[in-house]
Amino acid sequence: MGGGHLLPVKRWLGLDLGASFVKAALLSDGRLIDGFILPVSGRYREVVAQILETIETSDLAGMGITGVGVEGVDLSAPRFSEVAAHARGVNLFFPHVKTVIDIGGQFTRVVRVGPGGKVLDFIISEKCATGSGRFLQIMARILHVDIEELGRLSFEATQPVEFSTNCAVFAESEAISRLAEGAKPADIVAGVHHAMAAKVEMLMKRINWEPPVAVVGGGGQDKGLIRAVEKKLQIEVVVPPQPIITAALGAASLASLDVTSRARDYGADF
Amino acid sequence: MTATEKLKKIYGERPKRTRELKEEGRKIAGYFCCFVPEEILSAFDLVPFRLQGNPKDPVDQADAFIEPMACPFARSCFNQALKGNYDFLDAFIAPHSCDTIDRLSNIWFHNRPVSFNHLLNVPHMRERGAEEFFRSELNYLVKCLEEWTGKKLVLEKLRETIRLSNKKRALLRNLYELRKKDPPPVSGAEMLEVLVAGMGIPVPEYVNLLTQYVEEVKSREVKSISLRPRLFLWGNAIDDSTFVQLVEHSGTWVVMDDLCTGSRSFWEDVPETSDPMEGLARRYLNVPCPRSNYPRTGHREVDLESRFGYVGAFVSSWKVGGAILYLIRYCDTCELEGPDLKDYLNKKGIPVLMLEDDYSLTTLGQLRTRVQAFVEMITGVV
């Protein structure tokens, strides 16, 4: 006996097959050790194959998947809702957070989180792009700027544009006519952030949110949007280091907890 | 063929059975919602046909007549009419249930009239004065039907159709009672199909099928204990079982409902009053559709209890662990009442998932993620 050796540390893979991107996270010993993001346009199978080629899979202990694309791949891995995956992923970084806002490419989700990352309640935006990342994509396109630039640009705003519509499609034509009238792109972007923050606030109120609050998803990378949300809620929010891969991380973590055997007992075929 | 198979076939092929009846010389009376007494239609030897939409068939004609931002269920129903799928109707009776059905019926009468077209005025307030008003509206419906058919209403025949419809209701309540078992011998999706199958055939035929079906269900072997959460479903017209299947495939049982294609359509009997029109008026006026109003005291708790008390009794008797409120988009009455019901159920410790859908099977993926997250939450598996 004696002279103990280190056991190889198990790695867990989480995949989040989102509307705009496929996100992958590798978890080991409760920590995020690697994460990457690939654009997707419905080609989930190809992108997943690409990811599985990139990483060393021989020593993988297991995998968990989440996201709108789970129906499009035939992986024999446990599936989790984005809601549970985000709650769990955020909990690994910020165990004290009670409300998670996920601003994704298609939907915005607000999750109330209990101890251990348990989902207490959640709400998902309806088929409407104003509260989602799609709104930012539309605006980036008509302003001819990179989506990554929107946050920085909004800090140059002096008179944010008020949007009189709640619809992203109509807001597009509204933004174009404002530009024609001479509004600054920065003021338009700040106006978009305000409109989105207002949508987020409505979802928050509907489920009786509590601080502390974390923002994740692609929207978490937009500092201007974060500032607008903070202003609306009158609190400071926390954002994990790579907010876009939180759900992937959560899926990896949930897979490591082996909750799926329990889920099977319920007869769920997800 | 067992009654289970027969009912499944009638549901799956609907409205084939109704068309057959038409070819046999029966007259078919289409109607909307839960406010048109089938007993009156049956007493005139008409086959009552509850109008349905088709969520599998996208609306491609109705938009030329109705704004796309109108109730997608109503648009789907009218779309079916425009495509000739309701050409077997002899009569069409629209109640003033909600403004959409009221106004749609005008468009329908004008563009696709059938032999007998009638708007039944239904008062909004559930109280005594309204009952008298509604009774005279039902008398007016009878008068119009007498003129159209050339036959006088025979009161004894009406009493008989009331007794038979009450028998149908008792059989359906009996089936719902069996769903108190865990696991239930009938899934929510199957129950819905059985109900919808009965919405286009004569009541005596349905009563015969149900009588056999109840026996078949009673003799089913129920599997071992179930860990699945038992859900309650609230909403309006769900006349396709796909959504309920989705909910149950996510690892649940739908054991009780307050849907206008479910318990709301049959739960209460028609009282056998000396003037049958009195019992009919009282029973049909009090259908708890969100379009109706009820006298209020001004005390929120009391008013919520008088509106939703029956739902409270349903969820406790059927041991429900979660509720899904399934709202059809642009249904103002549902969308405005939903938050009150959510509040009422939450206070009873029942978690609630509110879903908004546009009466189309193209959005199933989005509904699935919401249902899945809800099931994860209430079972505590993650």
Q: Please return the burial class of A41, using the count of CB atoms within 10 Å of its CB with bins 0-12, 13-18 and 19+.
A: exposed
The fraction of chain A above a pLDDT of 90, given in percent, is: 47
Whether A270 sits inside 8 A of B372 (CB atoms) is yes
Nearest to A262 among B365, B373, B381 (CB): B381
Q: Please return the burial class of B167, using the count of CB atoms within 10 Å of its CB with bins 0-12, 13-18 and 19+.
A: middle
Q: What is the pLDDT of residues A157-172, one digit of tens each?
A: 998 888 876 676 777 8
CB atoms within 10 A of CB A104: 29
* Residues B374/B324, Cβ–Cβ less than 8 Å: yes
Supply the Cα-derived Rg of chain A in whole angstroms: 20
Query: Looking at residues A255-263, what average pLDDT do you find?
Result: 67
Domain boundary among B124, B141, B157: B157
Same domain, residue pair B99 and B247: no
Same domain, residue pair B152 and B243: no
Contacts of A266 in chain B (CB under 8 A): 227-229, 251-252, 375, 379, 381
Same domain, residue pair B227 and B284: yes
d(CA A180, CA B381): 54
Structure-token pair, residue B93: 């009776």
Residues 6+ apart with CB under 8 A from B218: B178, B185
Between helix A82-93 and helix B364-379 the angle, nearest 10°, is 50
- Would you state the torsion angle of the CA atoms of residues A31, A36, A42, A44, taken in this order, to the nearest 10 degrees? -60
d(CA A70, CA A73): 6
* Residues A74/A43, Cβ–Cβ less than 8 Å: no
* Residues B368/A72, Cβ–Cβ less than 8 Å: no
User: Which residue reads 């959409």 in tokens?
Assistant: B100
Domain boundary among B157, B182, B207: B157
d(CA A193, CA A106): 16
Q: What is the pLDDT of residues B51-97, one digit of tens each?
A: 999 998 989 899 889 888 899 999 999 999 999 999 999 999 999 99
Check if A259 contacts B (Cβ < 8 Å): yes
The answer, yes or no, to whether residue A239 has pLDDT greater than 70, is yes
Instruction: Specify the 3-state DSSP secondary structure of B328.
Output: strand
Backbone angle region of A10, left / alpha / beta, with phi > 0 → left and psi within -120 to 50 → alpha: beta
Complex-level ipTM: 0.77
d(CA A238, CA B211): 62
Q: Find the CATH number of the domain harbouring B299.
A: 3.40.50.11900
Nearest to B372 among A81, A121, A265 (CB): A81
Query: Looking at residues B229-243, what average pLDDT do you find?
Result: 95
Maximum mean pLDDT: which of A63-77, B198-212, B294-308: B198-212
Closest CA to B354 of B362, A218, B343: B343
What does the DSSP 8-state code read for residue B86?
T
What pLDDT is stored for residue A75 in this prediction? Answer: 86
Q: What is the pLDDT of residues A186-231, one digit of tens each?
A: 999 999 999 889 889 999 999 999 999 999 999 999 999 999 999 9
CATH for A11-80+245-263 is 3.30.420.40
* Same CATH fold assignment for domains A11-80+245-263 and A102-239: yes
Strand ranges, E, within B187-299: 230-235, 253-258
The fraction of chain A above a pLDDT of 70, given in percent, is: 89
Query: Looking at residues B177-206, what average pLDDT do you find?
Result: 96
Distance from the Cα of B249 to chain A's closest Cα (Å) equals 6
The answer, yes or no, to whether residue B141 has pLDDT greater than 80, is yes
The answer, yes or no, to whether residue A129 has pLDDT greater than 70, is no
- Residues of A (121-160) whose Cβ lies below 8 Å from B: 121-122, 124, 126-127
Task: List chain A domain ranges.
Answer: 11-80+245-263, 102-239
Adjacency order of strands within the sheet including A21-28: A31-39, A21-28, A11-17, A60-66
pLDDT tier, B159 (very low <50, low <70, confident <90, very high otherwise): very high
Same domain, residue pair B193 and B293: yes
d(CA A175, CA A139): 8
* Residues A193/A228, Cβ–Cβ less than 8 Å: yes
d(CA B352, CA B378): 10
The answer, yes or no, to whether residue B306 has pLDDT greater than 50, is yes
Per DSSP, what are the bridge partners of residue B92? B30, B117
Q: What is the pLDDT of residues B320-365, one digit of tens each?
A: 999 999 999 899 999 999 999 999 999 999 999 999 888 988 778 7
Closest CA to A221 of A238, A198, A239: A239
Domain boundary among B142, B157, B172: B157
* Residues B92/B116, Cβ–Cβ less than 8 Å: yes
The three-point CA angle B350-B352-B356 to 5° equals: 160
Domain count, chain B: 2
Same domain, residue pair B204 and B328: yes
Domain A102-239: CATH architecture, name and number where available:
2-Layer Sandwich (3.30)
Whether A268 sits inside 8 A of B373 (CB atoms) is no
d(CA A41, CA A68): 12
Whether A82 sits inside 8 A of B369 (CB atoms) is yes
The answer, yes or no, to whether residue B182 has pLDDT greater than 70, is yes
* Residues A222/A136, Cβ–Cβ less than 8 Å: yes
pLDDT tier, B284 (very low <50, low <70, confident <90, very high otherwise): very high
- By DSSP bridging, strand A60-66 and strand A11-17 are parallel
What pLDDT is stored for residue B39 in this prediction? Answer: 98
Contacts of B342 in chain A (CB under 8 A): none
Distance from the Cα of A263 to chain B's closest Cα (Å) equals 6
* Residues B15/B200, Cβ–Cβ less than 8 Å: yes
Q: What is the pLDDT of residues B13-31, one digit of tens each?
A: 999 999 999 999 999 999 9
Whether B377 sits inside 8 A of A120 (CB atoms) is yes
- By DSSP bridging, strand A119-124 and strand A108-113 are antiparallel
Q: What is the pLDDT of residues B262-273, one digit of tens each?
A: 999 999 999 999
Check if B351 contacts A (Cβ < 8 Å): yes
* DSSP calls for B147-188: HHHT----HHHHHHHHHHHHHHHHHHHHHHHHTTSSS-SS-H
- Identify the helix (H) or strand (E) that includes residue B92: strand B91-95
Check if B349 contacts A (Cβ < 8 Å): no
What pLDDT is stored for residue A43 in this prediction? Answer: 86
pLDDT tier, A260 (very low <50, low <70, confident <90, very high otherwise): low
d(CA A178, CA B326): 39
Contacts of A119 in chain B (CB under 8 A): 373, 376-377, 382
d(CA B102, CA B94): 7
What pLDDT is stored for residue A171 in this prediction? Answer: 77
Query: Looking at residues B251-279, what average pLDDT do you find?
Result: 97
| Among chain B residues, CA nearest to A87 | B382
d(CA B235, CA B246): 16
Whether A68 sits inside 8 A of B226 (CB atoms) is no
pLDDT tier, B297 (very low <50, low <70, confident <90, very high otherwise): very high
* Residues A251/A15, Cβ–Cβ less than 8 Å: yes
Domain that holds residue B117: 3-157
Whether B372 sits inside 8 A of A121 (CB atoms) is no
Nearest to A270 among B228, B250, B366 (CB): B250
- Residues of A (55-84) whose Cβ lies below 8 Å from B: 68, 71, 79-84
pLDDT tier, B239 (very low <50, low <70, confident <90, very high otherwise): very high
The answer, yes or no, to whether residue B193 has pLDDT greater than 90, is yes
* Residues A145/A136, Cβ–Cβ less than 8 Å: no
Same domain, residue pair B146 and B179: no
* Mean of pLDDT over chain B: 94
Closest CA to B30 of B103, B106, B115: B115
Length of chain B: 382
Q: What is the pLDDT of residues A4-43, one digit of tens each?
A: 455 567 899 999 998 888 999 999 988 899 998 998 877 8
What pLDDT is stored for residue A142 in this prediction? Answer: 87
Same domain, residue pair B105 and B176: no
d(CA B1, CA B20): 19
The fraction of chain B above a pLDDT of 70, given in percent, is: 99
Same domain, residue pair B56 and B179: no
Give the 3-state DSSP-derived string for chain A, with helices as H, strands as E and coil as C.
Answer: CCCCCCCCCCEEEEEEECCCEEEEEEEECCEEEEEEEEECCCCHHHHHHHHHHHCCCCCEEEEEEECHHHHHCCCCCCECCHHHHHHHHHHHHCCCCCEEEEECCCCEEEEEECHHHCEEEEEECCCCCCCCHHHHHHHHHHHCCCHHHHHHHHCCCCCCCCCCCCCHHHHHHHHHHHHHCCCCHHHHHHHHHHHHHHHHHHHHHHCCCCCCEEEECHHHHCHHHHHHHHHHHCCCCECCCCHHHHHHHHHHHHHHCCCHHHHHHCCCCC
The answer, yes or no, to whether residue A69 has pLDDT greater than 60, is yes
Structure-token pair, residue B230: 């038992």
Adjacency order of strands within the sheet including B27-31: B46-50, B27-31, B91-95, B116-120
Q: What is the pLDDT of residues B37-63, one digit of tens each?
A: 999 999 999 999 999 999 989 898 998
